[in-house]
């Protein structure tokens, strides 16, 4: 594979339909999306200034609800401070008018200055009180913002962790999740914008009230001055939001490349295979595509602001000409005109700030609405709560003509390809049941259906005759412990990597120790720098890295700590040496003897010799069932026997290839020790 060529594709504007070469090579196609999936998107892009203004109460109310949940006292402090600041501005403008009236009146200068002193005192007091109010508002806002972000983040996380696995794996749900994650940060910014909106609104009301008293014609002129900038802010905001929605997954993919380059897990392969320059080049290519889009946005914003500035200049000229006309015709006194200029400037600044902040507030609210929409969608796709109790001591779990197809899983013809098709089989409790078959045969899908992570598209799974779909899912989950070949390696301490197997009660050190001894992980922990308190994640202070085999022992210990009725082990020994593998299978036999049901998935067919029942899957269908002897000794030759003979011949070839006096391969010795093939 070569480094990416210079990015010559169309990377700006809406015409980037084919994607960059890096997108096509690394991700199979463009990562730009039509935002039509986003239900509120068109409504936002077509919004007018009046519609945006009319939405202000709803937006403020939404922000206040989040802030109320986060910190009521801080919310009261911010609200009162903003109102007080606006009141002081209004009183200050009236006091300034009194000062100008006194100074510009007829009579000796000393008398005029003396007459202006009370009003000057009011100006000073209102300025001081206003400054204190702004300080209180700033402090309250700073206290509210992080709390609101936490509340918003918890709001979607507590729902996402309870959705069906199919939702987590769904592309559209993940795109909504991308935007909702931005919405949590947007909720924090909404506090700042909402505070500014309330402050600007009160300030504008004060200035507008003073202008209306001075002369009614001044208020429409004030509104005229702010319209161009308001139009520009709304237009630019629309463009930014549309761009974000379209480029969200492209940006996520770029972050994935950059994070991959600094993560510890792929670091060895990146260095040995010299993958770093390759990924860095494609990161650069994708970043250049994003930079092209940012350039387009900047040019569009500059053009819009230039037009708005020209229109604002014309409106300002008209306003001051009107003031001059009122002054020349004697309709307005000079002192009143001076106050009108100050009130106009103050009101224009407040109204411009108000429009800009409302626009920003609405832009952030769109992301927060995505967060709220995610919560609604997560509620619809949530794992059902309640149901019939799972039998305490079931005797048999039966799959009856079960068919399952992954959402969006289509073949070349566009038809949906089932992962399981018409599967009927029994899982007797208290036994070792093995699932075997080649990759893609449906073994892992079957155990996920068994554990309640997926629901059958057709057919039923029955626990002693009761349909699993009607059972309490939480109770169902509690019956299982899983050790998959790609089980999660928690970036936590060694102790928590075991104890996290059951978090519905207090951590029990004795059980952790017992689970570690069971899985052969006690020695692994003893060799760690800080024992049980060793952090198993490189890149953090005190972090430590262990081998794949050591991780697998911790995973087995975690499953044992969970102490569930059914243990699902998917390739439990893939990273273990031959001696440790024998120990694991001996432990599995002991569990079955103690009454625990073990569902074993493995490619090493000699390891399932002691299974009570073996199910053979091929391309999503059940092909054979029986004991080891029934599947290997009885003609005609079947799939299991073919696979077993192929592995046996490979083992014999390894023995024959050994040099005279050379020690036999470890796997061969261990397997012979266990049982002759």
5 within domain boundaries = no
DSSP 637: P
- Structural domain that includes position 154: 20-28+48-380
**Domain stops at, among 347, 380, 413:** 380
Residue 135 to residues 81, 131, 141, 207, 372, Cα–Cα distance (Å) = 8, 6, 10, 21, 32
Alpha carbons 423 and 416: distance in angstroms, whole number: 17
pLDDT of residue 279: 85
649 within domain boundaries = yes
39 within domain boundaries = no
Residue 218 DSSP SS3: helix
> Are 394 and 376 part of one and the same domain?
no
> Are 315 and 394 part of one and the same domain?
no
Alpha carbons 518 and 543: distance in angstroms, whole number: 25
**Domain stops at, among 331, 351, 380:** 380
> Are 143 and 275 part of one and the same domain?
yes
Q: Domain with 173 in it: what CATH number?
A: 1.20.1560.10
| pTM for the structure as a whole | 0.68
Which residues does 443 contact at the CB level (< 8 Å), separation at least 6?
435, 436, 437, 570, 601, 617
> Are 269 and 367 part of one and the same domain?
yes
pLDDT of residue 423: 95
Total of domains in the chain: 2
> Are 470 and 375 part of one and the same domain?
no
Dihedral sign, CA of 482, 486, 490, 494? positive
pLDDT of residue 662: 44
Cα 293 to chain centroid distance, Å, stands at 24
pLDDT of residue 16: 47
316 within domain boundaries = yes
> Are 318 and 201 part of one and the same domain?
yes
283 within domain boundaries = yes
Alpha carbons 467 and 399: distance in angstroms, whole number: 10
234 within domain boundaries = yes
> Are 343 and 454 part of one and the same domain?
no
> Are 421 and 368 part of one and the same domain?
no
pLDDT of residue 397: 95
> Are 131 and 278 part of one and the same domain?
yes
Q: Where are the alpha helices (DSSP H) in 161-170?
A: 165-168
Burial of 558 (0-12, 13-18, 19+ CB in 10 A): buried
Structure tokens belonging to residue 80: 């009162």
pLDDT of residue 649: 79
> Are 307 and 428 part of one and the same domain?
no
Residue 25 DSSP SS3: helix
Q: According to the 3-state scheme, what is the secondary structure of 240-306?
A: HHHHHHHHHHHHHHHHHHHHHHHCCCCHHHHHHCCCHHHHHHHHHHHHHHHHHHHHHHHHHHHHHHH
> Are 161 and 290 part of one and the same domain?
yes
Alpha carbons 508 and 652: distance in angstroms, whole number: 47
256 within domain boundaries = yes
Residue spans of the chain under pLDDT 70: 1-19, 27, 29, 31-56, 59, 104, 264, 268, 272, 335, 408-415, 572-582, 584, 591-593, 634-637, 651-677
Q: Domain with 618 in it: what CATH number?
A: 3.40.50.300
pLDDT of residue 10: 37
442 within domain boundaries = yes
> Are 53 and 166 part of one and the same domain?
yes
Alpha carbons 322 and 310: distance in angstroms, whole number: 19
Q: What are φ and ψ of residue 51, in 5° steps?
A: -65, -40
Q: Of the candidates 337, 285, 311, 260, which has an alpha carbon nearest to the alpha carbon of residue 23? A: 285
pLDDT of residue 473: 93
**Domain stops at, among 318, 348, 380:** 380
Alpha carbons 622 and 455: distance in angstroms, whole number: 18
């Amino acid at each position: 594979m070569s480094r990416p060529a210079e990015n010559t594709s169309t990377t700006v504007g809406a015409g980037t339909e084919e994607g960059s070469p890096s997108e096509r090579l690394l991700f199979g196609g463009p990562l730009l999306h039509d935002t039509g999936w986003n239900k509120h998107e068109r409504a936002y892009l077509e919004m007018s200034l009046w519609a945006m203004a009319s939405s202000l109460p709803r937006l403020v109310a939404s922000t206040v609800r989040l802030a109320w949940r986060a910190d009521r006292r801080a919310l009261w402090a911010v609200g009162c401070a903003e109102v007080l600041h606006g009141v002081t501005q209004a009183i200050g403008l009236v006091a300034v008018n009194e000062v100008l009236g006194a100074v510009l009146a007829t009579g000796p200068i000393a008398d005029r200055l003396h007459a202006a002193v009370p009003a000057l005192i009011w100006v000073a007091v209102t300025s001081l009180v206003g400054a204190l109010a702004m300080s209180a508002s700033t402090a309250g806002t700073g206290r509210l913002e992080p709390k609101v972000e936490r509340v918003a983040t918890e709001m979607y996380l507590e729902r996402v962790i309870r959705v069906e696995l199919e939702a987590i794996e769904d592309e559209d749900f993940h795109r909504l999740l991308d935007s909702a994650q931005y919405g949590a940060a947007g909720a924090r910014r909404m506090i700042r914008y909402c505070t500014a909106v309330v402050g600007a609104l009160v300030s504008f009301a004060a200035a507008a009230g003073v202008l209306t008293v001075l002369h009614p014609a001044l208020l429409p002129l004030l509104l005229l001055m702010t319209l161009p900038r308001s139009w520009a802010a709304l237009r630019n905001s629309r463009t930014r939001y549309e761009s974000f929605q379209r480029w969200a997954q492209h940006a996520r993919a770029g972050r994935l490349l950059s994070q991959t380059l600094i993560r510890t897990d792929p670091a060895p392969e990146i260095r040995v295979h010299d993958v770093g320059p390759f990924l860095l080049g494609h990161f650069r290519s994708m970043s250049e595509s994003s930079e092209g889009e940012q350039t387009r946005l900047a040019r569009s914003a500059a053009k819009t602001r230039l037009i708005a500035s020209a229109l604002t200049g014309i409106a300002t000229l008209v306003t001051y000409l009107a003031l001059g006309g009122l002054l020349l015709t004697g309709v307005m006194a000079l002192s009143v005109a001076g106050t009108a200029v100050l009130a106009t400037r103050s009101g224009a600044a407040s109204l411009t700030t108000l429009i800009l902040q409302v626009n920003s507030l609405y832009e952030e609210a769109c992301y927060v609405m995505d967060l709220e929409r995610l919560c609604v969608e997560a509620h619809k796709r949530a794992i059902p709560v309640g149901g019939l109790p799972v039998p305490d001591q079931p005797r048999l779990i039966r799959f009856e003509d079960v068919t399952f197809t992954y959402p969006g899983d289509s073949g070349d013809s566009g038809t949906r390809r089932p992962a399981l098709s018409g599967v009927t089989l029994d899982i007797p409790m208290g036994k070792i049941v093995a699932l075997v078959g080649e990759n893609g045969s449906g073994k892992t899908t079957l155990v996920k259906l068994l554990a309640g992570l997926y629901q059958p598209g057709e057919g039923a799974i029955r626990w002693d005759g009761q349909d699993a779909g009607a059972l309490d899912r939480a109770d169902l989950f509690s019956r299982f412990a899983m050790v998959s070949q790609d089980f999660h390696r928690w970036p936590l301490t060694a102790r928590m990597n075991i104890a996290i197997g059951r978090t519905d009660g207090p951590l029990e050190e004795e059980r952790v120790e017992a689970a570690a001894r069971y899985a052969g992980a006690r020695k692994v922990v003893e060799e760690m720098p800080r024992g049980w308190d060793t952090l198993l994640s490189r890149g953090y202070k005190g972090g430590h890295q262990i081998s794949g085999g050591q991780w697998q022992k911790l995973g087995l210990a975690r499953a044992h700590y969970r102490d569930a009725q059914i243990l699902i082990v998917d390739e439990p020994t893939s990273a273990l040496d031959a001696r440790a593998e024998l120990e694991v299978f001996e432990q599995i036999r002991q569990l079955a003897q103690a009454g625990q049901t073990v569902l074993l998935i493995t490619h090493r067919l000699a390891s399932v010799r002691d299974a009570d029942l073996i199910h053979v899957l091929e391309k999503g269908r059940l092909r054979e069932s029986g004991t080891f002897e029934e599947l290997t000794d009885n003609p005609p030759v079947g799939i299991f026997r073919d696979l077993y003979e192929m592995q046996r011949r490979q083992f014999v070839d390894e023995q024959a290839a050994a040099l005279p006096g050379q020690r036999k391969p470890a796997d061969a010795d261990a397997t012979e020790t266990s049982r002759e093939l």
